[in-house]
Amino acid sequence: MGTVLANDEIVNGVSERGGHPVIRKKMTQWSMRITAYAQRLLDGLEKIDWPQPLKDSRTNWIGRSEGASVTFNVIPTEQNDEEFPEIEVFTTRPDTIFGVSFMTLAPEHELVSKITTPEQKAEVEAYIEATAKRSERDRMADVKTITGAFTGAYAEHPFTKEPVPIWIGDYVLAGYGTGAVMSVPCGDQRDYDFAKHFNIPIPNIFEGVDISEEAFADKDHTIIANSDFLNGLPYKKAVKRAIFELEQLGKGKGKVNYRLRDAVFSRQRYWGEPFPVYYDADGMPRMIETEYLPITLPEVEKYLPTETGEPPLGNATEWAWNTESNEVVSNERIDHKTVFPLELNTMPGWAGSSQYFNRYMDLITVRRFFRKRPLTIGRMWIYILVVVNMLQAIYCTPVFGKSLCSIKAWYPKMSLPKN
């Protein structure tokens, strides 16, 4: 097909249009660090007069949860006695830590290739190749298909010191949390189904509860059992005690986590705002000074990615930055001394659509998008209310507003009425 697709354009491992095979590859991309605003976005909901369903939508999108960060040491194998790194997981149920009977990593987790034993290498690599053809959306939605592979490696339980087998499974996503989970089959249904399918032990750590048919996830009626110092404790007390003991061991700490993830801000397509970025001799990105902006898209013969998989701007013959004359010049002049290659990705469509209302309130400025001054609150309210049902306005626009406040392009007080 010769293009890059978003998750929602992939169905069952093929492109939605044409049914072409799709392969997932790692790519270096720019992201908007919206996670830095997670709590502020939540707090801001108290200051805006939006319909409650929309507020609930954003609350769920941000997904604030309290729990603990826990670290597990990977046990060295006979073939490799080097000190393996720790695997960090986030859990909202540290009270169930004695119910851990295996760990599950995302197939894309960076440690998978390092810890997989020679005996399991072929199976693991085949599984990774198969899951690379599925989108994250498919993997999250498909709760009936159970797949996985054993890495051959084990981690040490922080309290019992018992070995815990490490598996990979496509129901764990590399981009969510740490890309690893401590699997407690007696308390989580997906872990339960996984353990049943692969004949992994399911220890019961709940007092007076039958888990022969399904996992038990009712926190409010939980009494912990078979868990050493947590025995007899209800959910809330057990959570606090587990976190305390983890901190004493140096194996964890209390933590607030957010489902919200940084938004990928790169697109491997031609049409979009070009990034004002060039790469120096060491491959480090450097920003073009504001006074030399804007830079405009170059002419290209083809709007498809290059044969080596680079974005369409890789086809441009004049897409290099001269740091002496401060202008775009021919690629033939790249010497990595004064002339350097420019960024090939472009910005997404929502880069403009999430905040172009600013332009409506400042039509006379030419060299800037808008002037650094307070904007008219009334007009902004009208605009936001018109598009309040659109996801871009609900999610992306407030992030743009807060980021502009951070660099003082907006006055701080301006971020409050519209969040």
Domains identified in the chain and CATH numbers:
38-63+349-419 (no CATH), 66-258 (3.90.740.10)
Per-residue model confidence (pLDDT) at position 101: 97
Q: In the predicted model, is pLDDT for residue 221 greater than 80?
A: yes
Q: Which of 313, 298, 306, 304 is nearest to 344 (CA)?
A: 313
Per-residue model confidence (pLDDT) at position 83: 67
The mean per-residue pLDDT over the stretch 303-311 comes to: 85
Confidence band, pLDDT 50/70/90 cuts, at residue 188: very high
Q: In the predicted model, is pLDDT for residue 386 greater than 50?
A: no
The more confidently predicted of residues 182 and 59 is 182
Per-residue model confidence (pLDDT) at position 109: 94
The more confidently predicted of residues 322 and 137 is 322
Per-residue model confidence (pLDDT) at position 375: 52
> pLDDT tens digits, residue range 86-141?
999 999 999 999 999 999 999 999 999 999 999 999 999 999 998 887 777 778 87
> pLDDT tens digits, residue range 230-281?
999 999 999 999 999 999 999 999 999 888 888 888 888 899 999 999 999 9
Per-residue model confidence (pLDDT) at position 46: 85
The mean per-residue pLDDT over the stretch 169-196 comes to: 93
**In the chain, what percentage of residues exceed pLDDT 70?**
84
Q: In the predicted model, is pLDDT for residue 169 greater than 90?
A: yes
Per-residue model confidence (pLDDT) at position 281: 95
Q: Which of 335, 288, 331 is nearest to 306 (CA)?
A: 331
Which pTM was predicted?
Answer: 0.75
